[in-house]
Structure 1
Amino acid sequence: MHRMLVDERRWIGEQRFLHALNYCMLLPGPEAQQLAIYIGWLLHRTAGGLVAGILFVLPGAFVMLGLSILYACFRQVPVVDAIFFGVKAAVLAVVIEAVIRIGRRALKNRAMIAIAAAAFVGIYALRIPFPIIVLAAGIIGWIGSRHAPASFTGAGHKAGAAGPAFVGVVDAMFERGELTHAEPSWSRAVRVLAIWLPLWLGPVVLVWAFTGSASVWTQIGGFFSTMAVITFGGAYAVLAYVAQAAVDTFGWLGPGEMADGLGLAETTPGPLIMVLQFVGFLAAFRDPGGLNPIVAGGLGALLTTWVTFAPCFMWIFLGAPYVETLRGNRAVSAALSAITAAVVGVILNLALWFALHVMFRAVVTVEVLGVGPDLPVLSSLDWRAACLAGASMVAMLHFRVGMIPTLIGSAAAGAALLWLTA
């Protein structure tokens, strides 16, 4: 998005892009779609935001639904199982590559590295809730901008190819006084809430009213609506929360299946967060009530997609005008940058979670006073998964092989390894 919107199409300038990105990183939910809505809204008001946000999601939603149906129907076929064995190993490499890529942008000094490390320890070992970690990071950044501005102000920002003097289409509109829709208004904020809160939560209330509080659809609607409010930091950070809840709390799918879903989402167009649709599909497919399992799964996928992405429009249409007025505010910039650094630690936790469940057949939790990390049972190491994961990491990080070729190669290698060692 940065390359296309800033460097090639020149729709938006570097600093305004980074300001919008950091705001979207602060919001709960998928930051990529929110950034698309934000820039569409800047360019063409509400209609632009709607078009950008809907078309950013729609192709991937259709593809993911088709893949989820194929997965649910043919997962037990040996050759399909073997392919996903290799895909899971490659997914681990993809997540680690994401940690490194985001870390290079966000961790520019020791203060940011310390925040990332503290966030990792907090969520992995101490099991501190994600929202508390994000709030604490924001407060640290805010205070740091006043007492150690060199370490906090502008952390995580870097000049792009366009340079600081570059003026994009949006910046030119601002200079001509054409961004009147970016001016805060209480009446506009009330209208946004009056429209988008019912649109977002209305389907959840209807599902609860017609199916009861114990139905899988009510659980899906309630859980993913809650997730839309309390999960911050982008797709990888959201997955760390969803994976553990979907596997450990609800039992909708297993750890290996969550990795399978992430592998499928990595190969589809659109945002990575489409893996949540996969989770919703499997949850309803396996508890269809009186419906056909595929129909039930489709409804679960549709409900998951709606409650995941509908709030994104509300967050942008409601908050973006106020955020635009804060451009250049060093304290806000420092708080957002500290949150981005904390997200690196959260994504590292996701990488470790995948590593434990992909490469080891057994994992135990070591608790002291009710908290403690998950540790592998070393004797349960699956050497085949470890070799595939290591090879995928070498391919992506050393030889710069693309994600899709790596996933395909690892899938083929996984099928061959299982056949040879069967």
Structure 2
Amino acid sequence: MRAEHASLEIGKQAVPNKPPPRGVSGGGDDSCQWANDRECDDPDIGTGACRMGTDVSDCRAMRAGDDDSCRWARDGECDDPNFGTGACVQGTDRTDCGQVSWLRNLNDSCATSFNNVCEEPGRGSGCAARTDRSDCRGRQRPMTINDHFFGRDDRVRVNAQELPWRYMGQYTNGAGERCTATLIARDVIVTAAHCINTDEGIRADGTFQPEAGGPAARTTDYFLNPRFNYERFNTTDEIDGLDWSLLRIDQPLGERWGFAGTRIITAQGTAAARAFDLYQAGYSWDTGDRLSANIACHIVQVQGPDNTFAHECDTTRGDSGSAFLVRNGNAWDVIGVDSNFRNNPGGPFIYIAVSAASFQPYVADFVARRIGTPVGQQTGIKPKRDR
């Protein structure tokens, strides 16, 4: 993984809170709060998070028809935001991204996406323009992009009142970044370690909003492996197996919605682990504020002593921290949490998750309050990262 790309959070799948599309008005500057983030946010050709003409620098190349002005252009890897690495300003990596540029600013955020019926204006009704991508334009995805989905997007919508989906919710840290988390006790959730770490240090002072409904809960305590280092995680693959965190919340939501157990299925190696059907759901960046799920996807490779595994489930940014579950009779067990992507020269990105083998030994002690750090207290050295 290139250090320059890593500093731009290639593999980090947390999602910043951008607002929905805003109205169009005049202007021509970079006054939008989302300006200079490499993604065009003007409403006519971009995300719509900015007023018209207030994200000039990020939209300039797209308005001119795209070019190869990025330093990473023509390196064989698409570096546009979202479906690429994000190292380039949108529209400045034309040669590498040409095959996938049609995906730009299309998503599946409509509430009825993934139902095999196109409901965008002009072809149906019920969805806003550009929000029913898979149903209107197909599920095939080029293997050359970050969100390659192994050639096909197989995600579905699920009923949040049913098991195991009602265990899940959206976790928002103190810096406003969003991930997915899952109840594993009456007042404990599991997510990724990078979901509570920011450039300013640990921001576990967040909220957990259950997908099934009801009020959000606030986090009160957290626990990480003491060896997790945010800078090292973002710049190497060496500690991916430490990318998990346990969080205590101030309401016993597990009493209302239930919670999953934890289980280790990677100890017997790849062949045994592949036999399990995995169930996963998260708040993907391209599907709005609703869960999108993978049904009966599988582990591809147990990575070895670092307690990670590669999988074939269609995850992307926002899915970080989401649980992989397996059936256990009438119950469900978390067997891992989603972490990051790994570069794979000459091939598609490898999707990496942390096995429960890495965090299960700490769950009982955290639930019993024998370990943990109160929110607001930081441990270790504040991470510093090059920009």
TM-score normalised by the shorter chain: which range applies?
A: under 0.3
Q: TM-score, normalised by structure 2?
A: 0.25
Which one has a larger percent strand, Structure 1 or Structure 2?
Answer: 2
Larger RCO: 1 or 2 (CA < 8 Å, sep 6+): 1
Return the index of the structure with the highest Cα Rg: 1
Which one has a larger percent helix, Structure 1 or Structure 2?
Answer: 1
